[in-house]
Structure 1
Amino acid sequence: MGQKLVGILLNAAMHRGVPRLKTGQESLELYEEAAAAYGMVPCFLQLSDINLESGYSVAYVKGSQGYQLMAVPTPSVIHNRAIYSQNSTGTDRLLEQGLLVFNTCNRYGKDQIHRLLAQNGALRGFLPDSAAGLSGLKTMMRRYPDLILKPCRGSVGKGVMRLSRRGERRWIWSYLPSGTRRWMHRAVNPEALPRALRARLSAMPYLVQERIPLAELNDRPFDLRVTVQRGWGGDWQITGMFAKLAAPGGFVSNIARGGEAYSSSSVLEQLFGGETAASIRMSVEALSVMIARQLERSLPGLADIGLDIGVTRDGRLYFIECNGRDQRYGFQKAGLGNLWKDSYRKPMGYARFLLDDPSRYIRY
């Protein structure tokens, strides 16, 4: 294979960090290694440096002196790792010019994802009961004794709250104050919810869900992060999974909120035994591919996602949420270095697949 350019689209802040190798959780080294395996050279772009009229872009490309900005022919295939909402038109303009951008949008509302999955009768049994906003909260409080409240547009667990019943007229509101990792717990009257809680629900759209009784290891609830990606050949593949354990005393498993990453095999085997653990893993993989195939029908260019799947004490599976820009570093933190590398190889394999056969790009 002759060497070709593949674009990696970054947000401006991360793009500025490329020459200093300061790109947060994104590994430039693994992009280089993965792209080279498919005969490609990665170039790191930001949207404002792509000139559609000239067909050239200014991008960071690695040379003998490190990463340098240079003018290059705009890559015909681009993996989007920048955060754009569905209202953004930037990547749409690239598509209109014939460029193949995958993971075109990677910010979807949790309520939207829930609605799309609920359209598939085979998936409904894996979805927690859900409602929206303050009115939805009051309805759900009548149905369930334990609720999770999630910002529809939030990420890494930011803004997630919990309401749990402790008596006929007493509930506990649990939330994480901004800038801290220490949970606050406040008793509330269900007939007169605190102004602060009502203000949060009014300030932004919230999804209210029944709290799933997740299995726990050492009194720490956990879920499974499953990386599902298109690779060479274009089909959805399971790259791997790891377990995310909530911080001691917490209920949110996000690593950015104090959660920890562990091998999924190790955690499941400790709780369920080897044979049942293997069966659960196979079921999680099958469910994750089914979810990806359902979502691709409505989300153009979808190719690289991270799914959070909950497992109850009796082994039942639930879909928790979809991450449009999967933070793959959990594999590294779980000691799964090969899977961490694979999470970079798969998208680069898909990029090479599209370079060789652009007609296989799925637009919907």
Structure 2
Amino acid sequence: MGKPHIGILTYRNGHRFQEPGYFRRLISEGQKLGATVFLFSHEDAFEQKRMIRGFYPSAKGGWENKLFPWPDVVIDRCRKGSPGYRQFRKKKLFLYANNTYTNKWNATRLFMQDDAVQRWMPHTVAYSPEHLKEMLKKYRLLYIKPGNGTGGRSILKLTRTVEGYTVLGRDNRLVKKTARFQTLPPLIRWLNRWVKTERIREGNFMIQQGLDLSLVPGRATDTRLLIQKNELGEWDITGLGIRIGGKNSSTSNLHGGGKAVPFESFMVQRFGPEKTKSILLECRELARQVVQTIERHFGPMMEFGLDIGIDVNGRIWLIEVNPKPGREIFKRIGRMDLYRRSIQRPLLYALYLLQASKRPPLNRENAG
């Protein structure tokens, strides 16, 4: 029997990929595990021949391609939901390590309605001028977020002040934006333009209750938790870390100028050891409840990055869930062991799935 072939489905622009460093590590770790790993886009599958134009690192630093046999299992890492990709996914041509998910707005509605998760959810509604007025009456701080955004793009932080309203955020190119308004009508006109010009992939916007996450004064702070399936096909928390946003930034995203620090030492300094232990246990419980809820609705999954807000009182909130998460935070906090494990786990789970698919079904009449 030859080496197992693992295909990584992603977006390709010519010979360029969105996450080249991560993909090189993924392919290298796959080789160490005895697998052949290659990248491909939905345009690279030749269905009749059952062959794939696959890409792999060149010794010169770029990417080479050749024809590979049909992959035994595919990891979907495509972060750009083009119509061609969506149609391709519907065909179910492969054994996939992860099912398709949904956008952030639909996921938020699901979590708000789920008995096991709703206690961690901030109040969230679809964007409209009427909803904005209602939310501003209830909360001094709001976030205006795209329903299918990523990486902190197009997110606004809106604060009601004595002088009026202050808006702070980043557009879909991550350029900082600030604005101030004395009254509501010009604010609404400005926001109406924003949700039209800054929408991502024709998606809508939502208004979310703002949280006081300034564990470091004047800076947005949150926790990124990575939960992944392991080599036994079981959910396990790989690790977590704190992200501290840049000065005058509406989010804590690392590529928006934020920095990362280890979770435990930071939280102990802020809340003490006992409270930190309790917060950590609740973060773990939240992560497990979230992935169980998702799998009930969407089928088997592989990994998720949870953005968890811990407010100044130590209360825990679920901010958002990322189905194709980054793992740079482990590098930033100096945990290369966790960084490497976070890269290995999707491959180990893919190999587990492949073996499980070859096992004969259990004969329940003769079992036990």
TM-score range, shorter chain: 0.7 to 0.9
Candidates 112, 130, 135, aligned match of 1:118: 112
Sort the Cα spacing of 1:300 and 1:188 in 2 relative to 1 into closer, same or farther, 3 A.
farther
2:9 matched to which residue of 1?
Answer: 9
1:91 matched to which residue of 2?
Answer: 89
Distance 2:267 2:314 in 1: 10
Q: Which whole-Å deviations, capped at 9, do the CAs of 1:298-325 have from their partners, x for residues lacking one?
A: 2244212211001012211000011121
The amino acid across from 2:7 in the alignment is G
The amino acid across from 2:53 in the alignment is V
1:2 Cα deviation from its structure 2 partner: 6.0
Distance 2:60 2:160 in 1: 61
1:28 Cα deviation from its structure 2 partner: 3.4
**Paired residue secondary structure (1:216):** coil
Please give the root-mean-square deviation of Cα atoms over the aligned residues, in Å: 2.5
Superposition map of 1:149-228 within 5 A:
149-167=144-162, 170-176=164-170, 181-202=175-196, 204=199, 205-228=204-227
Sort the Cα spacing of 1:10 and 1:202 in 2 relative to 1 into closer, same or farther, 3 A.
closer
1:181 Cα deviation from its structure 2 partner: 4.8
Superposition map of 1:1-364 within 5 A:
3-13=3-13, 16-17=15-16, 24=19, 26-61=21-56, 68-85=64-81, 88-93=86-91, 95=92, 97=93, 99-105=94-100, 108-134=102-128, 135-167=130-162, 170-176=164-170, 181-202=175-196, 204=199, 205-358=204-357
Distance 2:268 2:207 in 1: 32
The two structures have a TM-score, normalised by structure 1, of 0.87
The amino acid across from 1:247 in the alignment is G
Q: How many residues align?
A: 350
Distance 1:335 1:260 in 2: 12
1:176 Cα deviation from its structure 2 partner: 3.2
Deviates most, 241-250 or 187-196: 187-196
Distance 1:140 1:6 in 2: 47
Distance 2:20 2:41 in 1: 17
1:238 Cα deviation from its structure 2 partner: 0.9
The amino acid across from 1:47 in the alignment is H
Matched residues, percent identical? 24
Distance 2:82 2:306 in 1: 19
The amino acid across from 1:150 in the alignment is K
Deviates most, 335-344 or 181-190: 181-190
Q: Gaps (5+ residues) in structure 1? A: none
Distance 1:238 1:89 in 2: 32
Distance 1:12 1:75 in 2: 18
Q: Which whole-Å deviations, capped at 9, do the CAs of 1:263-288 have from their partners, x for residues lacking one?
A: 21232122122332233222212211
2:363 matched to which residue of 1?
Answer: none
Q: Does the Cα contact within 8 Å between 1:2 and 1:39 map onto a contact in 2?
A: no
Q: Does the Cα contact within 8 Å between 1:262 and 1:333 map onto a contact in 2?
A: yes
Distance 2:174 2:296 in 1: 39
1:246 Cα deviation from its structure 2 partner: 1.0
1:156 Cα deviation from its structure 2 partner: 0.8
1:63 Cα deviation from its structure 2 partner: 8.0
1:240 Cα deviation from its structure 2 partner: 1.0
Q: Gaps (5+ residues) in structure 2? A: 360-368
The two structures have a TM-score, normalised by structure 2, of 0.86
Q: Which whole-Å deviations, capped at 9, do the CAs of 1:72-93 have from their partners, x for residues lacking one?
A: 2111200111125496121221
**Paired residue secondary structure (1:27):** helix
Q: Which whole-Å deviations, capped at 9, do the CAs of 1:340-360 have from their partners, x for residues lacking one?
A: 111111101110011111279
Distance 2:261 2:173 in 1: 25
Distance 1:223 1:16 in 2: 35
**Paired residue secondary structure (1:286):** helix
The amino acid across from 2:265 in the alignment is S
Deviates most, 261-270 or 152-161: 261-270
Q: Does the Cα contact within 8 Å between 1:215 and 1:222 map onto a contact in 2?
A: yes
Q: Which whole-Å deviations, capped at 9, do the CAs of 1:239-262 have from their partners, x for residues lacking one?
A: 111111111232311112221122
